[in-house]
Structure 1
Amino acid sequence: MKILNNQNYITNKQLEDIIKLMGQDYKPRKIVIYETKLDILRFYSKCFNFSLEELRGELEGCYDESLDIVYIFIFAQTDDGDDLHSKQLYSLHALAHELRHRYQLVNNYLRNDDEKSEEDADRFATRFINHNSKKISKIMNWDEEWTVEEE
């Protein structure tokens, strides 16, 4: 798995450890982490696929099934302000959500029902983060456990 990431919020090792918790069906060919809007331009030649929605910060992540690439937009994480741990936590939630879409593709699960696919990915991401909060806190070097509230 290739990772493009400046590693200011989440390190590549942390990403790899989180994905190990999920299993092999969740491991994409590539992950691209956009910490800032400038990163979209910086990684443009390596990852052409992005839209104005992403550039405006309206999208927290996306999965390109044709290329098996997950894109995470850390700069779009503004739910709890500009707190480092909040940005990390909600970026990991977005990662788990997008990786669930990969799982759905690999296992032909909910392929033809976009609404149920999105609901499943949201539920999975929240459950994954909350169920593994102790392990994730250790991986992320957080002093305390963090959880995600149902959306």
Structure 2
Amino acid sequence: MKIINNQNILTNKQIESIIKLLGKDYTPQRIFVYETRFDLIKYYPQSFNFSLEEFRGELEGSYDPAADIVYLCIFSQTDDGDDLHSKQLYSLHALAHELRHRYQYVNNRLFHDDAKSEKDADTFATNFINRNSSKISKIMGWQEEWTVEEED
């Protein structure tokens, strides 16, 4: 797995450790981490898959099954201002969500209804983060455990 990342918010080692908790069915060929909108343009020659929704910060990430690449848009994490831990936590949630889409694809567990696929990925990501909050806190070097709260 190759990770393209400036490593200012999440390090490659942290991402690798989180993916190790998930297992091999969640490991894509590549991950692009976009910390800023400029990164979308900066990595464009290597990464031809970004949409206007991603550029506007409306998507937290995406998974391209044809290339087996996860795209993570950290810059879209603005719910709690610029708090680093919150940005990291919700970026990890988005990463787990997109990696769940990879799992769905690789294991032929796709839903015919996109809403069901999204619900499955959201529920999975929330449960994964909250179930592993102690391990994730250690990986991230946080003093406290954090959990994710989903909005309906």
* TM-score, scaled to structure 1: 0.98
Q: Which deviations, in whole Å up to 9, do the C-alpha atoms of 1:34-71 show, x marking residues without a partner?
A: 00011111101110111111111111010011110000
Letter in 1 for 2:15: L
Runs of 4+ in 1 over 6 A off after TM superposition: none
SS in 2 for 1:33: strand
SS at 2:93 equivalent: helix
TM-score, length of structure 2 as denominator length: 0.97
How many residues align? The count is 151
Q: Which residue of 1 aligns with 2:102?
A: 102
Residues 1:70 and 2:66 aligned together? no
Structure-2 separation of matches of 1:94 and 1:124:
11
Q: Which residue of 1 aligns with 2:123?
A: 123
In the other structure, the counterpart of 2:15 is 15
What pairs with 1:82-101 in structure 2 (closer than 5 Å)? Answer: 82-101=82-101
Deviation at 1:79, TM superposition (A): 1.1
Distance of 1:22 and 1:15 partners within structure 2:
11
Structure 2, unmatched stretches of 5+, are none
SS of alignment partner, residue 3 of structure 1: strand
Shift of 1:112: 2.0
CA distance in 1, matches of 2:114, 2:56: 23
Question: Aligned partners of 1:40 and 1:150: how far apart in 2?
Answer: 27
Which letter maps to 2:81?
Answer: G
